[in-house]
Structure 1
């Protein structure tokens, strides 16, 4: 689906959260590590782990700042933090209230990983924390345990609801940014994204078609711009039904672009001819009037390392040739 490749604000948000988290945890880890090393009754193992985690936080923060971090590194960082918190809770007495650290974790996990990936480490931390509190309190339903569970679940649910709504809102905004408001087909920005996606595939093979409505100005002049808008909407819908919605783009005025993923020229030309014929034979309706429209189509083949601008320029030259030869035809 096209919306998966555009305007990735989620990546930017997760990267900022990761940088901020790494910065904060490196400071906290360094402070707690040194503090626990200086305390005679503290665990030197825990202090060592905290210092190591502070160092890992700095390394990951540096990589994130330079956009070099990988997804697996973030997952490793999250699970390492889970292990560190569980170990700290395990070796401490309940009166130290170290388990309170677990309450802030769901928020970080959902912001850094998203609702799907955050579920596993969040669940692990809850289960092991509850088990530890249950054993140490010697009561399965102590007030401390019940309060911890209720607090943890509240933070978890709020984090989940927030992340769900944020993802849905972003998807809606992405769609709005990529859709032409009149025809509800994808626009030139979406064309750029789709072209990049396909052209970077190994052995990419595609054809670019430029379609222009013939004598469209006459429709606006004779029937008004409202008629022109309706014709554009109906024509866009017809083209997208034939060529596939995710490969149909309105790139200006009465001009459309269609990307054809095909290895043979014949496939692209057959599709272009099918669009031309069906549009020319279709009866467009406006206020009980039947209007006819035709298309001129220019087709060009994508070549290795060809830019979108170059492909459109070549297709436009073929479109001009189709117009010169009398319109309502396909030129390659």
Structure 2
């Protein structure tokens, strides 16, 4: 299936990146002044000055909607290196190492579950090594300090991981609500419009098959809506199996749509005929008696610069032609 944009259940990474850029620009500017004027760490001050400049550039780019994914990777790499470098170069009593505790939050928020896990693991290992090797035994007890730091870090890391797992589950659920038909499990009209916009960029020959179950109202009236729902589900399964494509949609009621890519007119008609015959040959079960169905199919071919509604209207006209000509037909 085509790549779709999943709905966010939290602040989008683009927004987080923008405000992280602003925050880091301010923080690095402050630490640059402290290192240059008070602590006299000129080398570290120069690094923080460069980091402040880059963070400012990232913030400006995000305001102009010109930010790129590599910006956030570079920004977090600079922040991580700066924190670890500060911890290794300065005395532990300065507390630079504690900034590493905030990194898992940003890793998971900006990069997701898998990368957040690996980045957090690397930082924990490096931070623990710095803490153990740099600990002054007069001020710290290295083993106990390392033990407590690691427990705190893992606690924050675990909370971030659990939160991201739950966020992805909720996003997946919202995606199914937004883009899937609840009854049949195939995609819905919203997904159709989204997919068509993507398909148009990749393929030149696109056909729409608009499929309507003949006399479906009679089935609901005679057997009840529960059997009608069962029939709709069975037809959706037939469409998915017969066409061997994933672009199957329920438009509403008893109408379905199949999108065909890179087929000529004759092949598109053959696919439609295959669907018509598969439904006609299927026997649908009910509590009272077996049900035989037929479908009528209208086919339209997407024209250059044609809008979605015009594309659908062309298929709808052919569908009604099939209905007028006696149903159980394919019209192109």
Alignment of 1:141-180 (within 5 A): 142-180=143-181
- Does residue 321 (structure 1) correspond to residue 332 (structure 2)? The answer is no
Q: When the two structures are aligned, how many residues end up with a matched partner?
A: 329
3-state DSSP of counterpart to 2:250: strand
Alignment of 1:35-54 (within 5 A): 35-39=34-38, 41-54=39-52
Alignment of 1:1-332 (within 5 A): 1=1, 4-9=3-8, 13-39=12-38, 41-137=39-135, 142-201=143-202, 203-244=203-244, 246-332=246-332
Note if contact 2:180-2:186 (Cα within 8 Å) is conserved in structure 1: yes
TM-score (ref. length: structure 1)? 0.91
Q: State the alpha-carbon separation in 2 of the partners of residues 158 and 290 from structure 1.
A: 55
Note if contact 1:6-1:193 (Cα within 8 Å) is conserved in structure 2: no
Q: State the alpha-carbon separation in 1 of the partners of residues 99 and 164 from structure 2.
A: 21
After superposition, the C-alpha distances for 1:1-20 in whole angstroms (9 at most, x for unaligned) are: 35x41434279621122122
After superposition, the C-alpha distances for 1:103-140 in whole angstroms (9 at most, x for unaligned) are: 11111111011122234433332232222222222789
Displacement after TM superposition at 1:316 (Å): 1.2
Displacement after TM superposition at 1:66 (Å): 3.6
**Segment of structure 1 superposing worse, 223-232 or 255-264:** 223-232
Displacement after TM superposition at 1:242 (Å): 1.6
CA RMSD for the aligned pairs?
2.2
3-state DSSP of counterpart to 2:246: helix
Poorly superposed stretches of 4+, deviation over 4 Å: 138-141
Displacement after TM superposition at 1:241 (Å): 2.1
Note if contact 2:187-2:248 (Cα within 8 Å) is conserved in structure 1: yes
**Distance change (3 Å), C-alpha of 1:77 and 1:11:** farther
Q: State the alpha-carbon separation in 2 of the partners of residues 305 and 58 from structure 1.
A: 41
Note if contact 2:184-2:236 (Cα within 8 Å) is conserved in structure 1: yes
Q: State the alpha-carbon separation in 1 of the partners of residues 253 and 207 from structure 2.
A: 22
**Distance change (3 Å), C-alpha of 1:11 and 1:79:** farther
Q: State the alpha-carbon separation in 2 of the partners of residues 121 and 42 from structure 1.
A: 31
TM-score (ref. length: structure 2)? 0.91
Q: State the alpha-carbon separation in 2 of the partners of residues 273 and 155 from structure 1.
A: 59
3-state DSSP of counterpart to 1:174: helix
User: Is there any run of 5+ residues in structure 1 with no aligned partner, and where?
Assistant: none
Q: State the alpha-carbon separation in 2 of the partners of residues 52 and 66 from structure 1.
A: 21
Displacement after TM superposition at 1:31 (Å): 2.1
Displacement after TM superposition at 1:147 (Å): 1.6
Q: State the alpha-carbon separation in 2 of the partners of residues 176 and 125 from structure 1.
A: 38
Note if contact 2:7-2:174 (Cα within 8 Å) is conserved in structure 1: no
**Distance change (3 Å), C-alpha of 1:212 and 1:42:** same
**Distance change (3 Å), C-alpha of 1:239 and 1:47:** same
